Chains A and B, each alone.
Chain A
Amino acid sequence: ELKVEQNPLFLSMQEGKNYTIYCNYSTTSDRLYWYRQDPGKSLESLFVLLSNGAVKQEGRLMASLDTKARLSTLHITAAVHDLSATYFCAVDLPPTSGTYKYIFGTGTRLKVLA
């Protein structure tokens, strides 16, 4: 059974600090997704990591993927209040029929304090 685990589940950090969110998954996959969810809102796609060693950056967020370690990281640089949200990673499973389906992590709720 595929499991996707994130840690920490909750993260409270000061503005200007750096931190990393970890996403571990239990079976082989060569693709990983990161999403962001603002309170009361829907999920939006942040990154798609397509292969081992992939690194993507958008503003203060940088995501990386190590398929051998079955680990992805989401690194936050010099956090600002606007980054407060819940972050989910997701791994897709090869289709048994028709299409890939995702398994989501439990989410990391990030609060950036002014």
Chain B
Amino acid sequence: DVKVTQSSRYLVKRTGEKVFLECVQDMDHENMFWYRQDPGLGLRLIYFSYDVKMKEKGDIPEGYSVSREKKERFSLILESASTNQTSMYLCASSPGQGSRQPQHFGDGTRLSIL
């Protein structure tokens, strides 16, 4: 079974802090994705990566950055957290560059910025 593990289920941080969300997958997938999920807006893509050290902006990259130093790990960074970044963050992975396969999701991190 594919396992996508996000480091925290719940996280509370303060405005202006630098926040790291970690995601690890154990299936040797090339592709990894970060989404945020907000009521009424569905899932919106923040960043994705199709290879180590490669990253592409999604639809809402502002205020975020990512890091992929190893194939299995994809980190989302909030450079200076703001209250409008309070949300549920979901990490996903899928196999194969150019592959059109369902994504496998982690359990999510519910992040609150105070």
Residues of A within 8 A of B (CB): 4, 9, 31, 33, 35, 41-45, 48, 88, 90, 92, 95-107
Contact = CB atoms under 8 A, between A and B. Distances in A.
Given A99-B48, A101-B48, 7 more contacts: A42-B108, A92-B100, A99-B99, A101-B45, A102-B43, A104-B44, A107-B42
The 3 closest A-B pairs by CB, nearest first: A98-B50, A45-B102, A99-B50
B35 to A, nearest CB: 8
Given A43-B90, A88-B42, A102 B31 contact: no
Contacts of B92: 43
Interface in B71-114: 90, 92, 94, 96-108
Interface of B: 4, 30-31, 33, 35, 40-45, 48, 50-51, 54, 56, 58, 90, 92, 94, 96-108
Given A44-B105, A45-B102, A102 B45 contact: yes
A104 B42 contact: yes
Contacts of B104: 45
Contacts of B106: 42
A6 to B, nearest CB: 8
A55 to B, nearest CB: 18
